[in-house]
Amino acid sequence: VDVSSKFDLGINLENFPSCKELTIPPNTHNRKVLLRIYDNNKRMLKLVVRISMLKGGAMKLTISAQFWLVNKSGLPLVFKQNGCKQPAAGQFEEHEQARSVTPLLFSFSDAEELNL
């Protein structure tokens, strides 16, 4: 990628086939932005993208979830934000049956309501 020109960034994760691509302007550095991806049920997950410049003109992109939820209880837990009608993005039948062994990537869907 030529970092002296603008470019689009998008990702696809398992069970998250849709993404609202980011346009990154030329020579962007020391920025933090949100990338919105959508699961198979069209529920949004916000990922944090940190953009930094390295020596030699290379750009470093770090993509992470705001929270990782790990269910070690063996109980069927379904997570959702207080005041939201739908469960958080990325939860499917295996979560409802306590069979998921992978961490759940979680973000608050409504910034006004920051309680679980």
45-91 confidence digits (pLDDT tens): 999 999 998 888 889 999 999 898 888 887 888 888 888 888 889 88
Domain interval for residue 14? 1-111
Asked if the structure places residue 43 within a domain, the reply is yes
Q: Given this model, what pLDDT does residue 104 score? A: 82
Contact 67, 109 (CB under 8 A): no
Asked if the structure places residue 69 within a domain, the reply is yes
Asked if the structure places residue 61 within a domain, the reply is yes
Asked if the structure places residue 1 within a domain, the reply is yes
Please report which helix (H) or strand (E) contains residue 14, including its range: none
Question: Angle at CA 92, nearest 5°, toward 91 and 97?
Answer: 105
Asked if the structure places residue 54 within a domain, the reply is yes
* pTM for this model (two decimals): 0.80
Number of domains within the chain: 1
Asked if the structure places residue 99 within a domain, the reply is yes
Asked if the structure places residue 36 within a domain, the reply is yes
Q: Tell me how crowded residue 67 is: count the other CB atoms within 10 A of its CB.
A: 14
pLDDT at 31 > cutoff 90: yes
pLDDT at 2 > cutoff 60: yes
pLDDT at 11 > cutoff 50: yes
Structure-block tokens of residue 48: 């944090």
Residue 61, strand partner residues: 51
What band does 99 get if pLDDT is binned at 50, 70 and 90? low
Instruction: Output 103 or 109, whichever has higher pLDDT.
Output: 103
Asked if the structure places residue 116 within a domain, the reply is no
Residue with tokens 């990628």, as numbered in its chain: 1
Q: Given this model, what pLDDT does residue 41 score? A: 92
Q: Which amino acid is at 113?
A: E
